[in-house]
Amino acid sequence: MSQPAELNIERIAELSRLALTPEEKTRFSAQLGSILGHIEQLAKVDVSGIEPTAHAFPLNNVWAADIAQPGLAVSAALNNAPAQRDHMIVVPKVVD
Amino acid sequence: MNYEAVIGLEVHVQIKTQSKVFTRVGAGFGHEPNTLTDPVVLALPGTLPVMNKAALDAIIKAGLLLGCDIAPICKWDRKQYFYPDSPKNYQISQYDQPICIGGLVEIELPGAARNVMGEHKKIPLTRIHLEEDVGKLNHHATDSLVDYNRAGTPLMEIVSEPAMHTAEEAFAYLTSIRNTMIYGGISDCDMEKGQLRCDANISIRPIGEKKLGTKVELKNLNSISYVRDGIAHEIKRQLAVVATGGTLIQETRDYDGVAGTSQSLRSKEMAHDYRYFPDPDLMPVHVDDAWKAELQGTCPELPFDKQRRFIADYQIPYTITSVLIPDRELSDFFEATAQLAGTGRAQVVGNWITNDLLRELGAAKLSLSASKISPANLAALIQQVDAGTLLNAAAKEVFATMFATGDTPAAIITRLGLAAAPTDAGELESWCRDSIAANSKALAEFKSGKESAINAFKGPIMKAAKGKANPKLVDETLRRLLAEA
């Protein structure tokens, strides 16, 4: 299946913080293109006369009362963090 | 060529709720880092958002206060982006079906002088939508630290039309939104706590041109005066670029309020592609008339309406109202006291509040509700002075004691012995005669019609009375004797 014109593998890699080799770029471009092509079949479905909806399920106004509950302990919250300091998650510097 | 600036503001207001917008862990400012998280906030696998009813009530109320249409149906969408402030890699927001549409914000521009009401205008809104706030990044030399306490706090984004033209208008607009949100109990709008945040879209165009110029987004306007200064600075910068033959580029600039300068942010995601789509985990919200009516019933009088009413009904000067009105509690206190103090005493009430009460509150670092002062006690104090049973100078002392203890003025006057002396009529009369006899010049002036000459007699009488004579009685006695003299 042909690769849709808008697929920009460089940008997708950058946004995903993935450093791809040229070979990987070619390979993933083809794979992602194939997925997009598959999805594009949906565009062929005739939806004229069907009312747009955010949900297939006819349910609205689902909510809870504003009553605060205890959350996670800091140690549990940070359990998956690759690095932490001062009870915060350390990430690469993201500005400047 | 003459240019005009065109300004639109995006104002973010945190809604004051107990819990977060899509989960029930507590929300708030000033907690230890990462103590307000739960699996939903951290986007752990398998978690689902559940809408906070109070956040919906608050944004509908905000919309009603700002004259928006409340959409009968609205929904939530995912706004995709990659940044460590969002553990989900998307923010739940509202894209094409916001809950509040249109609206108008009344603003007041600076008057010709401090005691003159300025021009009023109405700035149109585009929309208000409900979204979740994101975590806070603390930037250090080589890395950044993430605190997710703020993530998931209910956040309203109030978007204006590009309808303002000066930094003063933008400042007035933000002030008006802040006052209105505080009145409605929707947010405390403390900019230092990030409860109110503002980005500005600014462009310039030749006067008469209809098309908008190249837009610059100004960020980090994190105090209400930085909003004014930052926008004024950006307009000047754009005019200078055009004046020297340069071309403006569409960019985001960061304003440094301390240095009063701005610099371009080289964003890593230049052209935003948020790929919005409806969040399948949240159901749409339908707002019917009954719900709107219920919230309409909780809407307070708007600040500018209250100000116009105070000026009309209580005949108090604009200057006093401009101190009272921004503070809902203080203006309610004024009104309660003015009603107790009686006809024609509103300005005296206003003076006590804007001078003495605010000074005492400031010195004690107390909020009005935490202080011991009551409208009944202040009204009683004013009545004591009016009746002449308490002298003005002593009233200040009674007020300070009343503020500190919450006792009634009557109790304080007795305890401290501050009552104007229960004057012996004979003694008072002889002091008055002595004073008139000692000042023939003032007597002649008074007789020739100079009303104010009567004051010259009062000093020696008060001195004789050791400052405790009832001024009303002194005045009456003097007038009687002067008529005979």
Bridge partner residues of A89 (DSSP): A84, B146
* Closest to B218 (Cα-Cα) out of B209, B229, B207: B229
Collect all residues of chain B within an 8 Å Cβ-Cβ radius of residue A77: 34, 37, 42, 148
Q: Please tell me which of the candidates B53, B282, B284 has its beta carbon nearest to residue A65.
A: B53
| Spatial separation of the C-alpha atoms in residues B271 and B275, rounded to whole Å | 12
Q: Say how many CA atoms lie within 13 Å of B294 toward its Cβ.
A: 9
Q: What's the gap in Å between the CA of A1 and the closest CA on chain B?
A: 23
| Spatial separation of the C-alpha atoms in residues B170 and B401, rounded to whole Å | 43
Output the six-digit token pair for B276.
């919005």
Q: Do A15 and B284 touch (CB under 8 A)?
A: no
| Spatial separation of the C-alpha atoms in residues B180 and B300, rounded to whole Å | 9
* Phi and psi at residue B52, to the nearest 5°: -90, 115
pTM given for the model:
0.85
**Count of C-beta atoms within a 10 Å radius of residue B34:** 29
Q: Do B138 and A91 touch (CB under 8 A)?
A: no
Which of A89, A90, A91, A95 best probes binding to B when mutated, by most B CB atoms within 10 angstroms? A89
Bridge partner residues of B121 (DSSP): B107
Which of B34, B51, B93, B138 best probes binding to A when mutated, by most A CB atoms within 10 angstroms? B34
Q: How far apart are the first and last CA of chain A?
A: 41
* Closest to B186 (Cα-Cα) out of B65, B6, B279: B65
The one-digit pLDDT tens for each residue of chain B (485 residues) are: 899 999 999 999 999 999 999 999 999 999 999 999 999 999 999 999 999 999 999 999 999 999 999 999 999 999 998 889 999 989 999 999 999 999 999 999 999 998 999 999 999 999 999 999 999 999 999 999 999 999 999 999 999 999 999 999 999 999 999 999 999 999 999 999 999 999 999 999 999 999 999 999 998 788 989 999 999 999 999 999 999 999 999 999 999 988 989 999 865 445 567 889 999 999 999 999 999 999 999 999 999 999 999 999 999 999 999 999 999 999 999 999 999 998 899 999 999 999 999 999 999 999 999 999 999 999 999 998 888 788 887 899 899 999 999 999 999 988 887 777 656 777 888 888 888 988 889 888 998 888 888 888 988 888 887 777 777 888 888 888 888 87
CA torsion, ordered B164, B166, B170, B176, to nearest 10 deg: -90
CA torsion, ordered B348, B349, B351, B353, to nearest 10 deg: 170
Q: Please tell me which of the candidates A14, A72, A95 has its beta carbon nearest to residue B37.
A: A72
Domains in chain B (CATH in brackets) are 3-294 (no CATH), 303-416 (no CATH), 425-484 (1.10.10.410)
| Spatial separation of the C-alpha atoms in residues B84 and B100, rounded to whole Å | 29
Domains in chain A (CATH in brackets) are 1-45 (1.10.20)
Q: Which long-range contacts (CB under 8 A, 24 or more apart) does A89-93 make?
A: A89/B34, A89/B84, A89/B145, A89/B146, A89/B148, A90/B143, A90/B144, A90/B145, A90/B146, A91/B84, A91/B137, A91/B143, A91/B144, A91/B145, A91/B146, A92/B143, A92/B144, A93/B139, A93/B140, A93/B141, A93/B142, A93/B143, A93/B144
The CA angle B129-B134-B139, to the nearest 5 degrees, is: 140
